[in-house]
Structure 1
């Protein structure tokens, strides 16, 4: 996923090819996790692309893709619990930390029917709130 990947990871989505080696390493990890999780969940990559643009399809495979991706990134435990200390520690330096923490706080307690849905709901919440924040700034 372009993912809102530094919780939840929105800042990573805009990274360009002119970044430092650490950023390039993050981009490579994101691509690797995406491909691995597509293979593991059998999700249609089109659904991921749509979610990356704010169109979140209510699809069980997409939900489990979200969980898979966030687990590989180290943000989620096997049972679907958010690892908030890890998430907070990995907020990219180019992200407004206070805003990110505020969004995390608003989304962190969402619960779905299972761990896949829980992670999906948190990701969707973070994405939507990040998007609204950006929209309000313009």
Structure 2
């Protein structure tokens, strides 16, 4: 698959994931809640994860273990999380995670009380990033996020 086809596929899946999240938020607003649950966000993130697996070559068994808190410092796993962040459209023009974009997405997707907890943990994890490498920083953030409160972990 050529590079343009891959970029278009990423844009399509990212748009589809955003649309799914928007629908979930709309359903919850109709039910009297403002935002989706972590379980709903996790489910809506599956297409992003499914697209990033072949792009990065990450081992699915290793990926499954992250849901139990195992985050080996494997380059394919690290780049998998960079792919997830790219597809979530929270990267700036310098290919770095944009904390403001992350906070805006959190506010848009989650009810206020849950959004506050996720934002607090995100701020802590952003402050603990030690690498400038996109793959490593994405992995560091994701690992930290799980370790702070696994009940809030929504990454695929």
Structure 1 length as normaliser, TM-score? 0.68
Gaps of 5+ in 1: 1-18, 134-138
**Of 98-107 and 71-80, the range deviating more from structure 2:** 71-80
Which residue in 2 is equivalent to 1:37? 52
Which residue in 1 is equivalent to 2:66? 51
Which residue in 2 is equivalent to 1:99? 117
Question: Structure 1 residues 94 and 55 mapped into 2: Cα distance closer, same or farther (>3 Å)?
Answer: farther
Which residue in 2 is equivalent to 1:121? 140
Checking the alignment, whether the CA contact within 8 Å between 1:80 and 1:119 is kept in structure 2 is no
The Cα offsets for residues 9-51 of structure 1, whole Å up to 9 and x where unpaired, read as xxxxxxxxxx948969956652221111101001101111111
Which residue in 1 is equivalent to 2:78? 63
Using the TM superposition, give the Cα deviation of residue 84 of structure 1 relative to its aligned residue in structure 2, in angstroms: 1.4
1:83 aligned to 2:102? Answer: no
The equivalences for 1:16-31 within 5 A come to 20=27, 29-31=44-46
Question: Structure 1 residues 43 and 127 mapped into 2: Cα distance closer, same or farther (>3 Å)?
Answer: same
Structure 2 length as normaliser, TM-score? 0.61
Equivalent pairs counted in the alignment come to 115
Distance 1:64 1:108 in 2: 17
Runs of 4+ aligned residues of structure 1 deviating over 4 Å after TM superposition are 21-29
Gaps of 5+ in 2: 1-25, 29-34
**Of 120-129 and 71-80, the range deviating more from structure 2:** 71-80
